[in-house]
Amino acid sequence: MDQQSLNQLITFAIAAAVATLVAIWLGLIVWTWRDMRSRSRDPIAQIAAALLVTVLNLPGVLVYLLLRPRETLAEAYEHSLGGSAPAGHRGKERLPWLRTAYSGTLAGMPGLLYAAEKAMRRVRRTA
């Protein structure tokens, strides 16, 4: 292998490593933005979290993980409902596959999720 081929190989390896690191950095920024959007309605907090990761990179993610709100808005809403779910439904996961399969669609709508679970139980009884 001559010197020119070796230089090209090293240049390609460095470019691939830099592209990978940039992709990971951008992915962390997007993840932080989306995670903060699910945890806060405050647009300034959302922007600040994304900027924190943009400027500080991995240490920024660690700081964000330490400072972010403990629960998402959907979880806070579900907790705020408190005892409004029927007694048989509280604390039980009857159809966990339904919650997993439709969690993105039904996020923040625990009443609708409960109705879907109830309908599926009726279908199972009649089948």
Alpha carbon of residue 37 to chain centroid: 9
pLDDT for 60-80, tens place per residue?
A: 999 999 999 999 988 888 888
Question: CB of 79 within 8 A of CB of 48?
Answer: no
Query: Would you say the pTM of this structure is higher than 0.75?
Result: no
Low-confidence stretches of the chain (pLDDT < 50) are 87-91
Question: CB of 36 within 8 A of CB of 49?
Answer: yes
Question: What residue segments make up the domains of the chain, in order of their start?
Answer: 3-67, 73-126
Closest of 71, 67, 80 to residue 111, by C-alpha: 80
**Measured distance CA(124)–CA(2) in Å, rounded:** 71
